[in-house]
A and B are shown apart, each in its own frame.
Chain A
């Protein structure tokens, strides 16, 4: 087996400056250039990045966290200075020649992907249905018939909760429309399960938006100005364009 394997983080323009950043497994990051493209890579220990080792390591949350953070760190650092097409975690080649072959074989597709995201950043928006405030429209309490009043109140509460979620979904749709309008592209993902997202509120929108500089400002304004009691918006970013630097044609 070779002395080392080649771990690929991302593909960029060949002219792009390489940031001083540490890669996975504390390796140093370098470029493999072919034509107008460069792959951002590092040489990794073949005993730790073989098929078998990866299969085992990927199950190890601690390894996965440090590797994911390192991978993300390299992608994010490269993204500071130019367009970057991030490659999925744990993409490993036997040697630099094979990486060059990858760049050559997919040259036009990579170039198109980089052009799509040039000068743009990705922002993530999650929208949660805020718990519905109660009380406002409760039926009046009739002191002479507290039992009836109670049951009416219960029914009103139940109806309000159902209506609240419906309203939140509709409001999130409207918000997505507004956000997508200032974005170059948008992607919607399945809402995360409350158990997975860690939020008790129902997630009603999980989306990513690709924006240029003006779009980013507009996106922030939209998020900040949005004053709807039914929704809670969560903005993350700027991200390297993970969701948009894809090879498939759009």
Chain B
């Protein structure tokens, strides 16, 4: 919880207080630029400039230093931008496929259905893949009309309601009977990723 502030002197610095480098740059800048005694030195640095600079710097610091903390690290997951390091899903899938091939070649196929297959599916169908809205939405609109007449005449609600049809369906539907087709439906979102890698490989071949 505690961070920043006074670094211990380099002579005797307990390991738990390695603050000098870990102190948030934004916090340091806030203090050395915003606070502290302001005296006009012989070398004139326009204070207005510094104040403008402070704002600019905060934006910069926020955008670079903080982006990762905020979880904005899409560039690390974009296979065209970061060469393969982060495509863990593909690597895992690849590994499973190789195992399967090895197993098939070894002729131990019966074991596969019990072991490798479910693992393989979990890679292909992540739980939170957005499904296309199912057809069972039908009962919802009727209810919505009722609701608008009885309760909330505000037009502005319409959009939100539409967007959340699925939520309504949840009320009526029995949750948690995953149909086997889901895995098939969920598969397409992975394809673009695979395609995205190909240009990189092609480019490499061109270079060589």
B167 → chain A closest CB, angstroms: 7
A49, B59: Cβ atoms under 8 Å? no
Docked CA distance A106–B164 (Å)? 66
Instruction: Check if A8 is an interface residue, CB within 8 A of chain B.
Output: yes
Question: Known: A72-B32, A237-B5. Contact between A148 and B147, CB under 8 A?
Answer: yes
Q: Residue on B with the closest CB to A5? A: B43
Residue of B whose beta carbon sits closest to that of A240? B6
Per the 8 Å Cβ criterion, residues 32-79 of B in contact with A are 32-33, 35-39, 41-46, 49-50, 53, 57-62, 64-67, 69-70
User: Looking across the interface, which residue of chain A has its beta carbon closest to that of B19?
Assistant: A76
Assess whether A145 is interfacial by the CB under 8 Å rule: yes
In-complex Cβ contact of B28 among A72, A87, A145, A154 (8 A): A72
Q: Is the CB of A87 within 8 A of B5?
A: no
Whole-angstrom CA separation of A239 from B57 in the bound complex = 21
Bound CA–CA A79/B60 (angstroms): 29
Contact of A73 with B168 at beta-carbon distance under 8 Å, contacts A64-B29, A237-B2 already known: no
Say which residue of A77, A199, A247 sits within 8 Å of B37 (CB atoms).
A247
Pair B57/A64 contact, Cβ less than 8 Å: yes
Say yes or no: A147-B167 contact (C-beta < 8 A), given A76-B5, A87-B37, A92-B42.
no
The answer to whether A235 touches B33 (Cβ under 8 A) is no
A246 adjacent to B32 (CB under 8 Å): no
- Kindly identify which residue among B5, B33, B43 contacts A89, using a CB–CB cutoff of 8 Å: B33
Number of interface residues of A (CB under 8 A): 76
- List residues of chain B with CB within 8 A of the CB of A121: 6
B151 touches A196 (CB 8 A): no
For the A-B complex, the count of residue pairs with Cβ-Cβ distances under 8 Å equals 196
Binding site for A on B (CB under 8 A): 1-11, 20, 23-29, 31-33, 35-39, 41-46, 49-50, 53, 57-62, 64-67, 69-70, 140, 143-148, 150-152, 157, 160-161, 164, 167-168, 171-172
Kindly list 20 other residue pairs between chains A and B, CB separation below 8 angstroms, not including A86-B37, A236-B5: A8-B39, A20-B11, A21-B10, A54-B43, A58-B50, A61-B61, A72-B28, A73-B20, A85-B37, A87-B36, A92-B42, A93-B41, A147-B148, A148-B147, A151-B147, A151-B151, A152-B151, A195-B59, A199-B70, A243-B31
| Chain A residues within CB distance 8 Å of chain B | 5, 8, 11, 19-21, 49-51, 54-55, 58-59, 61, 64-65, 68-69, 71-73, 75-77, 79-80, 85-94, 98, 102, 106, 113, 121, 123-124, 141, 143, 145-152, 154-155, 192, 195-200, 223, 233-240, 242-243, 245-247
In the complex, the 6 A-B pairs of residues with the closest C-beta atoms, listed nearest first: A198-B66, A147-B147, A147-B143, A236-B4, A92-B43, A146-B171
